[in-house]
Amino acid sequence: MNVNEPLPGVGIALPFTKAADPEKRHEVVNGPARIPLAHLLPDTIRNHFVAMVGEFVGTTLFLWMALGGTQVANNIPSSAGLTVAQTGSNPQQLQYIALCFGFSLAVNAWVFFRISGGLFNPAVTVGMCLIGALPWVRGALLFFAQILGGMAAAGLVSCMLPGPLTVATSLGGGTSVAQGVFIEMILTAQLVFTIFMLAAEKHKGTFIAPVGIGLSLFIAELVGVYFTGGSLNPARSFGPAVAIRSFEGYHWIYWVGPLLGSLLSAGFYKFIKALEYETANPDQDAAIEHPTAEHLRPTSSGHSYGDFADQGVVPLPPPPQAPAKTINRDSAFSAEKTHRSSSSLDRTGSHGVSTATAPQRSPVGRGGSYMA
């Protein structure tokens, strides 16, 4: 029986344990208590370790969901009782696999972006190092974590899902080795450049970058799955090959192709940065595209609309005010006379005898003033 009372911020103590002493608890600063002795590690080492763990877990989850969907698509029997692995690819299967990869990347990149950057791909990691967005030491550690994540994901799919593992990448549709290299290179270049422009380049839409990155992988998979298996990621091809203990003689194309694509994207990115591409299509993130007279008009608070451009917020203009009414003095005098006549009638009886003792006032002049 648990006789320990719950303590604020601690919860209920487990059976056969002593209640925690509030005076002996570690001081909590902005969150849960740190791991014991973690404060002894230098910040650089601790940050590298956190990024490696995040990238390993993120890559594992990303590829586990993507490879799991591929396993489902390849093993669901058709109406004739044959699986796709036995009959060959069909458009529905290709779309299903592409959706699994695209959606899995979008979700997991959004989740792990704050921890490790959500790269999940050695080719992307190399590209980020080439453009200077990632230090080479951190890149090497993430590269290693991503390879381990690919192996872990393939192992989980092999152990948890029934049937033989059918998620390995291979050439199909009569694709030659040279064609496979160029297909992997171009598709990876498109994916990596998308990541550069949506995530590495900071702008107003950076927070939804995972959506665009996931869609980029989706359209790349629609093209690549049939011809090369749609790897675009050395960890995606290496993990299943280790799990089934079988490497194709052309397995190297799933390393060379994506890495060449990453190099191509990095070169083009540096080229347009050197040309200062921002000046070719300026004010992409401005609240108002072109200054106008309305833009410079002062607001009711004393600021001009241009003062809010850097904040991305433009205040609403003040509501229009109704024009002041002009009162005609003759009309006002007539209305006042009518009002007093009706009031005088109310104070008299039915035979016209006045019941009021107040003296009558007669208007004098046209100015609206009265005398007794």
CA 238 from chain centre, in angstroms, equals: 29
Task: Say if pTM beats, i.e. exceeds, 0.75.
Answer: no
Say what the pLDDT of residue 111 is: 95
Alpha carbon distance 138, 323 (integer Å): 67
Say what the pLDDT of residue 30 is: 54
Say what the pLDDT of residue 21 is: 52
Contact (Cβ atoms closer than 8 angstroms) between residue 294 and residue 305? yes
Alpha carbon distance 145, 295 (integer Å): 51
Alpha carbon distance 240, 178 (integer Å): 22
What tens digit of pLDDT does each residue of 355-370 get?
A: 444 445 544 444 444 3
Say what the pLDDT of residue 275 is: 94
Alpha carbon distance 213, 76 (integer Å): 29
For a pLDDT cut of 70, what percent of the chain falls above it?
Answer: 64
Alpha carbon distance 240, 169 (integer Å): 8
CB burial string 61-76: b at 16+ within 10 A, e below:
bbbbbbbbbbbbbbbe
Angle between the 43-75 and 234-244 helix axes, to the nearest 10 degrees? 70
Helix (H, G, I), strand (E, B) or coil at 370: strand
Q: Domain map of the chain by residue range? A: 43-77+84-277
Query: Which residues 6+ apart lie within 8 Å of 225 measured at CB?
Result: 89, 94, 97, 98
Can you give the pLDDT of all 372 residues of the chain as single tens digits? Answer: 444 444 555 444 444 445 545 444 444 445 556 777 777 788 899 999 999 999 999 999 999 999 999 999 998 876 555 555 544 568 889 999 999 999 999 999 999 999 999 999 999 999 999 999 999 999 999 999 999 999 999 999 999 999 899 999 999 999 999 999 999 999 999 999 999 999 999 888 888 999 999 999 999 999 999 999 999 999 999 999 999 999 999 999 999 999 999 999 999 999 999 999 988 888 777 664 444 444 444 444 455 444 544 444 455 566 666 665 555 555 555 555 555 555 554 554 444 444 444 445 544 444 444 343
- Residue 7 has φ and ψ, to the nearest 5°, of -110, 145
Which CATH architecture is the domain 43-77+84-277 placed in?
A: Up-down Bundle (1.20)
Q: What type of residue is 182?
A: F
What tens digit of pLDDT does each residue of 120-133 get?
A: 999 999 999 999 99
- DSSP type of residue 23: G
Contact (Cβ atoms closer than 8 angstroms) between residue 164 and residue 86? no
Quick one: residue 128, left, alpha or beta (phi over 0 = left, psi -120 to 50 = alpha)?
alpha
The label of the residue with tokens 């990303």 reads: 62
Alpha carbon distance 361, 344 (integer Å): 11
Tokens of 356: 């009021």
Alpha carbon distance 333, 339 (integer Å): 10
Q: Which of 11, 234, 219, 254 is nearest to 102 (CA)?
A: 219
State the alpha helices, DSSP H only, in the chain: 43-75, 84-87, 91-112, 122-130, 136-160, 177-195, 209-228, 234-244, 253-274, 293-296, 329-347
Query: Which residues 6+ apart lie within 8 Å of 116 measured at CB?
Result: 50, 51, 52, 53, 54, 55, 58, 142
